[in-house]
């Protein structure tokens, strides 16, 4: 079992920055790739970024956030971060972190555990 809790969302002006945190509890954290997805009402969850298991250094990003967002994981703190810079109004969504056993995936349906989400609102 793995429990995930997101934090760090809020209201920010366009061009600003936020850092989201995903705190995980569970002894198998290291074996899971951790990803961030986002969702706006009426739309499917969109892949944002993912970090590979252990300290692989493997990362992947959605096209819309490449060059602006950075994912990192602190295994000692069992926490994954999403640094979001140069935010745009279209980044407004509920952001979720999710865990997938062993490998990175861009498909939400493949993830095993989910947090409850944190709201990010970017004003123009």
pLDDT at 114 over 80: yes
For CA atoms 51, 57, 61, 66, the dihedral sign is positive
pLDDT digit string (tens) for 5-51?
A: 999 999 999 999 999 999 999 878 889 999 999 999 999 999 999 99
pLDDT digit string (tens) for 82-104?
A: 999 999 999 999 999 999 998 99
Q: How far apart are alpha carbons 109 and 59 in whole angstroms?
A: 19
């Amino acid at each position: 079992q793995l429990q995930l809790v997101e934090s760090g969302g809020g209201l920010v002006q366009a061009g600003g920055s936020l850092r989201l945190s995903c705190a995980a509890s569970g002894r198998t954290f290291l074996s899971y790739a951790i990803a961030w997805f986002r969702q706006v009402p009426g739309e499917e969850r969109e892949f944002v970024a993912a970090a590979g298991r252990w300290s692989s250094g493997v990362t992947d990003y959605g096209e819309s956030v490449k060059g602006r967002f950075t994912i990192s994981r602190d295994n000692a703190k069992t926490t994954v971060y999403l640094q979001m810079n140069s935010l745009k109004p279209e980044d407004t969504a509920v952001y979720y972190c999710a865990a997938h056993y062993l490998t990175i995936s861009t498909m939400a349906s493949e993830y095993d555990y989910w947090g409850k989400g944190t709201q990010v609102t970017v004003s123009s």
